[in-house]
Amino acid sequence: MNVLHVASEVAPFSKTGGLGDVLGSLPRALAQQGAARVTVVSARYGSLDPAQFGFARRLRTLQVPLGDQRFEVGLYEGKLPGSGPPVTVYLIDHPLFADRPGIYGPPDRLEQDYSDNPLRFALLSRAALAVAQAFNLRPDVVHAHDWQTGLSLYYARHGGLDFQPATVFTVHNLLFKGLCSLAEATALGVRPEHQNPDGVEFYGQAALIKAGLFFADRVTTVSPNYASEIRTPEYGYGLEGVMQSLGGRLTGILNGADYERWSPWQDPYLVARYGLPPAAESEELLDDATWGASLAGKARCKAELQREVGLPVRPRTPLLATISRLTPQKGIDLIIGLLEREAAGLLGRVDLQYVILGQGDHAFEQRLRMLAERFPSRLAVRLGYDEALSHRTEAGADFFVMPSRFEPCGLNQIYSMRYGTLPIVRAVGGLRDTVVDYDARSRSGTGFAFTAFDVPALSGAVRRALAAYHGDEAAFLGLQRRAMRADFSWNVSARAYLNIYRQAIQDAQAG
């Protein structure tokens, strides 16, 4: 089976969040299953140096038709890093990408989009098919991700190609719809007969995500729970009707974690490695003392993190962390609320430290900065994007706080568990599918979950986490061990995607 992925982010070449991580690992996992030859097409952004990742410039350029226009694009060819069968990556080179420092907007203004994003990503969507044509890839399946590449599925069906692939669309975040005017949609080649509610039209505008939703044979989203939630007004953001109409064509498949990059026993960013790689046959023989000893490196990582972010080095002070886009989706207002309102209680009286790494809305950044100035020995805030520090934070912290308003899947809670950093999450979307609430009596669970989206609920979960930290040591070690052993590797999910591809091919053949 030939599978062509089209996406606006592919880690480690480009990434603003989970989408990039998924495109960096799912294609490899698919190739490893041995059932598919996988190719990825994305864009060469200005911030990306193709040579650094071993990409070679192709001499040929491609002519890409888009509505009445034609664009000439260059190409870089490279490979996804990692083990297993190779996955070829093509990066589209055009000034619309290469002359911009950011992926979606100015790098220091996450909430601001480039106004011509619909054009930029329509070009990527159409160019991906031109690549398939030029290199005779003959994809059986074109798999597009989020609104940016939704149009590729429309073009695959109505773009006059000499091949007819089956199509799959994955929703990584329904909040971003790719809105533009209907006139713009026309300029991007969307025919008038597809500019209605059963096409791209959305309340008088065009929502390019609908090109993906309506013209895909199969639609997936990144967790089973989110697949149910987006059929409701609370989480559907106006598209719940569309989601309901998809019926059985919409499936939730949990994202996997790339444990080659996210495991504390082989993480090159850490001062000390810790934990033990899972070895099923010897797992029962592993006594608590051996397991406990294997965590010694985590204590060094904690001390190093405290030093790095300028907090007092205190081994027995619980260290909380958040790594996140600083946006309302991520419940940053709850975290700030917790820190501000409970300042006297949490930051003032309770012995606790908190590290926050993130960037995003300026108001959130401002409030966090002020809080950090008020509580310099308790709260360290790093504004910006820092891959290395994100790994060291996962390793050094005791708890990872993720109180999302909605969460399609979420990866950081999954990474956290592998690092023995217990997640404190709101039970929503993929967080509910991945974190099992701790029950002290039955000694079960992998983290701490709360339900209501408010500060008291978050505060309650934090207090339960702190009680567990200061309580029975063996119980806490068991909790950490269950979290570290929870397995969210890609194998199972990759097989689920292969099934969806087979169904999509059948659907496409059935016409």
Q: Kindly list the residues in this chain that would bind ligand ADP in the complex (CB under 6 A).
A: 17-19, 21, 323-325, 357-359, 385-387, 390, 409-412
Q: For residues 161 and 455, give the distance between their C-alpha atoms in angstroms, rounded to a whole number.
A: 53
To ligand ADP, the closest distance from the beta carbon of 2 in angstroms equals 28
Torsion of Cα atoms, 211 then 41 then 433 then 477, to 10°: -160
Cα 424 to chain centroid, rounded? 18
Which residues, 6+ apart, have CB-to-CB distance to 204 below 8 Å? 182
The residue among 19 and 479 lying less far from ligand ADP, judged by its C-beta, is 19
The residue among 265 and 385 lying less far from ligand ADP, judged by its C-beta, is 385
The residue among 342 and 407 lying less far from ligand ADP, judged by its C-beta, is 407
Q: For residues 232 and 375, give the distance between their C-alpha atoms in angstroms, rounded to a whole number.
A: 41
Decide if 78 contacts 54 (C-beta within 8 A).
yes
Record the tokens describing residue 475, joined without a space: 């119980």
* Number of residues that this document lists for the chain: 511
Q: What is the DSSP letter of 436?
A: P
User: In sequence order, what DSSP letters do the residues of 389-421 get, joined into one string?
Assistant: HHHHHHHH-SEEEE--S--SS-SHHHHHHHTT-
Pairing of strands 69-79, 62-66: antiparallel
To ligand ADP, the closest distance from the beta carbon of 250 in angstroms equals 20
To ligand ADP, the closest distance from the beta carbon of 51 in angstroms equals 23
Record the tokens describing residue 480, joined without a space: 């950490």
Pairing of strands 69-79, 88-93: antiparallel
Pairing of strands 353-360, 379-383: parallel
The residue among 15 and 157 lying less far from ligand ADP, judged by its C-beta, is 15
- By beta carbon distance, the residue nearest ligand ADP is 18
Distances (CA, A) of 306 to 114, 236, 273, 309, 396: 37, 40, 17, 6, 8
The residue among 154 and 497 lying less far from ligand ADP, judged by its C-beta, is 497
To ligand ADP, the closest distance from the beta carbon of 91 in angstroms equals 20
Helix (H, G, I), strand (E, B) or coil at 13: coil
The residue among 390 and 421 lying less far from ligand ADP, judged by its C-beta, is 390
The residue among 411 and 484 lying less far from ligand ADP, judged by its C-beta, is 411
To ligand ADP, the closest distance from the beta carbon of 510 in angstroms equals 34
Which residues, 6+ apart, have CB-to-CB distance to 167 below 8 Å? 141, 142, 143, 144, 153, 156, 157, 215, 216, 217, 218, 504, 508
To ligand ADP, the closest distance from the beta carbon of 385 in angstroms equals 4
To ligand ADP, the closest distance from the beta carbon of 201 in angstroms equals 27
The residue among 334 and 504 lying less far from ligand ADP, judged by its C-beta, is 334
To ligand ADP, the closest distance from the beta carbon of 249 in angstroms equals 24
Q: What is the DSSP letter of 447?
A: B
To ligand ADP, the closest distance from the beta carbon of 387 in angstroms equals 5
Record the tokens describing residue 39, joined without a space: 């190719």
**Cis before 12? omega within 30:** yes
The residue among 38 and 326 lying less far from ligand ADP, judged by its C-beta, is 326
To ligand ADP, the closest distance from the beta carbon of 126 in angstroms equals 25
Q: Which of 103, 109, 105, 110 is nearest to 43 (CA)?
A: 103
The residue among 64 and 356 lying less far from ligand ADP, judged by its C-beta, is 356
